[in-house]
Structure 1
């Protein structure tokens, strides 16, 4: 089984190839913006490094968010396009699930709270139990709601974990900070999932930038 994993939902533009459970190529670059220009080149480079033909890929795993709205769209669209061209399944994995997965590896048997900055004083959040089963769907809350609803025995994980820990007065030993999950985690998590059609972005809230619907430029008088 060969799996291609794609992550463009964070500051990173990253791809990985996993063959029979082992990562055989991984490319990750922290770029902030410009994922569309980088992604296809990274996929080609990863295939070259692993000496794997693109046509040999059995499935595609993609980070469906939450995260950068533009980044999520780029990753999901690329995964869908490759799945269609290769006639292979594409599997969506959330960034919160990947964060929980990595934190669980360091803190087994712990309640994990995965946290990502959603902007405008909002936080993407999902809780996982000691067996990494989700305790609730992924949600978006303001910082005060997150702090008020914390389990004082839980591990705070993800790129927004330190901020929430500071607001809540949580000790350092209960934090698992990471800028973004490892792209390999999406490949690994996809193995236990089946494709239910094309992966769909997990946005949780509306984008900040919206098209103008009530503004028009007045015509210039002759």
Structure 2
């Protein structure tokens, strides 16, 4: 199966072409953007396809990071994956960011329980982070949730979990017992998404964004137009 994986859940705009039968990545294209995923995603995908010597007609499935992460980036990536699936009549497979981060961390530390933690690095124990806990085999022990950093530290310590993700160091700082930090990135390598999607296989459930917190972007009060009556 030739699979296209895309990820716009953090700063990166990433795509790779993956051969599931051989379990290998054929090509990739990655830009570190911060913003502007919508303007660059198709060019990134085209570059990955060109490097692999493939076209859209060669794709058997598409995979996408569904978040949590950047609200705009996730919407862009999920919309693209579902659009390709509809146009090419192929399945679209969603992989959540916390799961992918844990899988990548497991590759670094071996068969260990992993807590993935996302959020802004902070010294406030009441700051909110997005977390999930997975066992040694990648099975979910604690579903993706939002909680205070101090509570997340207690949860990780209680499970004896290794930490990974952008909030990993912040969470570890609030733990009474020492916690290992395996990785600090806000997303996983694009090949990890491809590998996990290939293992999941096609599903009848269409990928949809996984949001655990409220959007950062809010209307500016000074620019709200008065409502016209009548």
TM-score by length of 1: 0.90
For 2:133, the equivalent position in structure 1 comes to 127
Kept in 2: contact 1:67–1:118 (CA 8 A): no
Structure 1 regions of 5+ residues with no counterpart? none
Give the counterpart of 2:161 among 143, 154, 179.
Answer: 154
State how far apart, in whole Å, the 2-side matches of 1:169 and 1:177 are. Answer: 20
The question of 1:200 aligning with 2:208 is answered: yes
Tell me, in whole angstroms, the C-alpha distance in 2 between the residues paired with 1:136 and 1:165.
18
Q: 1:58 aligns with which of 42, 57, 60?
A: 60
Which moved further from structure 2: 58-67 or 118-127?
A: 118-127
1:170 Cα deviation after fit: 5.9
* SS in structure 1 at match of 2:143: coil
- Contact map agreement 1:118 1:140 (CA 8 A) in 2: no
Which residue of the partner structure matches residue 8 of structure 2? 8
Greater alpha carbon shift after TM alignment, 162-171 vs 138-147: 162-171
* 1:64 Cα deviation after fit: 0.1
In structure 1, the partner of 2:93 is 91
Number of residue pairs aligned between Structure 1 and Structure 2: 217
Aligned CA RMSD, in angstroms, stands at: 2.2
Which of 134, 145, 163 is the matching residue for 1:139?
A: 145
CA distance in 2, matches of 1:58, 1:218: 49
What SS does structure 2 have at the residue aligned with 1:40?
A: helix
Of 67-76 and 162-171, deviating more is: 162-171
Q: 5+ unaligned residues in a row in structure 2: which ranges?
A: none
Q: Is the 8 A contact 1:118 1:124 kept in 2?
A: no
Mapped partners of 1:11, 1:169: distance in 2: 32
SS in 1 for 2:13: strand
Q: CA deviation at 1:68?
A: 0.4
Select the residue among 161, 164, 168 that pairs with 2:175.
168
Give the aligned partner of residue 18 of structure 1. Answer: 18
1:158-203 Cα offsets, whole Å, 9 max, x none, are 121112122326647x111232200111110011223223211000
